[in-house]
Amino acid sequence: MPDINRYVLPNGLRIVHSYNPLTEIVAVNVLYNVGGKNDCNGKSGCAHLLEHLMFGGSENVPNFDTVLQNAGGENNAYTTADITNYYDIVPAHNLETALWVESDRMSFLNLNDKTLSVQRSVVTEEFKQRNLNRPYGDASYLYRKTAYKKHPYRNRVIGNSISHINSITLDDIKNYYKQYYAPDNAILSIVGNVKFEQCINLVEKWFAQLSPSGLKRPEIPEEPKQKKSREISVCRKVRANAIYKVWHIPGRTDDCYPCIDLISDILANGKSSRLKTKLLKNKRLFFSIDASVTGDIDPGLLIVSGFLLPGVKMEDADDAIECEIEKLLLQKVSNHELKKVVNKFESSELFDRTDNAEYAARLAYSELLGNACNLASLTDRYRAVKCTDIMHAAEKFLIPSNCTTLYYNAI
């Protein structure tokens, strides 16, 4: 694995670097420690709306996309419940251009009523496309707001409703930007054909003069332990019935997290996985079934989602999933089955590290979790999981009292 270098500016900006001489490009990633869980004034959707506004130009860079395209680069961004992440991919000799534009919009973003109005409209259309006009588009929101009672993971990152998005004022956005978009709340990672010393010189040139926010992060309410199973049933105009079952699981840095992640792979990663072999292929209850973990920093969810074949009763589908979950509690997985999913995880990790942009994003996220260098030992955490660990994790978390079920009925 390539060397990972770390550095911190006096203003709090954390820099992570990895040299890759096998490419002529460099990836610049700026991660801000703010996401959908950090609502402004109780209004959901602030983080995502500000992500859009970050492309509206800054004091010295009126057209961000044009500058990067003229430098032979490309860029994009995304918002999750935990973070907002921006990345630029440019030829190595144009690294300074990417650093210049990122530093300018970190502290000198143009925010006005016109740009806010435009981006509100864009996000509103995105909301309609993703949540109102897409089949099962509201499923995630429905089971999240049922599973979570206090933690803001219960909210949609894009905003809970169009009215929420439209209620965000210019003052809300300006305050949000001032609070969270500052060097002491950001991690800058650089991966590619540029040496560490050159990176630091350029980063200091463009970021050292920026002022920290002295951020005092509002406290996020802790989700109380779920002590009783929860259910929600809805009817929608979709082609097939669906069922979603979710269980509360530990956060990303918890020692038990790799066990739960591997359980999701045992259940549904690949054609030979348990749910796809037994419920989709053998019993023919579903035409599609999957399992995943949200991977959140705070305690998240393990999700099993299945789409029923015509004529299959919802209660039969539910019982079949419960039966497969119960087997994890009662029977140890085999060494072969565990090794298979660990090998898949390791190969996926190695593949991700061959892409500069993906690797830069992973380094920044690992730094947010504690230390970017820990990414090198991530596969060791998964290799250390034993068959008994899988059973103990299932016994602790995959129990009926910790489960929320959404019955999504077609009409």
pLDDT (tens, 9 = 90+) of the chain, 411 residues, equals 678 999 999 999 999 999 999 999 999 999 999 999 998 877 899 999 999 999 999 999 999 999 999 999 999 999 999 999 999 999 999 999 999 999 999 999 999 999 999 999 999 999 999 999 999 999 999 999 999 999 999 999 999 999 999 999 999 999 999 999 999 999 999 999 999 999 999 999 999 999 999 878 888 999 999 999 999 999 999 999 999 999 999 999 999 999 999 999 999 999 999 999 999 999 999 999 999 999 999 999 999 999 999 999 999 999 999 999 999 999 999 999 999 999 999 999 988 888 999 999 999 999 999 999 999 999 999 999 999 999 999 999 999 999 999 999 999
- State residue 1's pLDDT score: 64
Question: Going edge to edge, which strands form the sheet with 186-192?
Answer: 5-8, 14-19, 186-192, 25-32, 84-91, 74-79
**Rounded to whole angstroms, what are the CA distances from 264 to 257, 325, 394?**
11, 10, 11
Tokens representing residue 197 in the block? 């010393």
- State residue 352's pLDDT score: 85
- State residue 353's pLDDT score: 85
CB-based contacts of 354: which residues, under 8 Å, 6+ apart?
A: none
The dihedral region occupied by 42, where left means phi > 0, alpha psi between -120 and 50, and beta the remainder, is left
Query: Contacts by 219-222 with C-beta closer than 8 Å and gap 24+?
Result: 220/37, 220/38, 220/151, 220/152, 220/298, 221/150, 221/151, 221/152, 222/150, 222/151
Instruction: Please name which of 122, 98, 119 lies closest in space to residue 110, comparing C-alpha atoms.
Output: 119
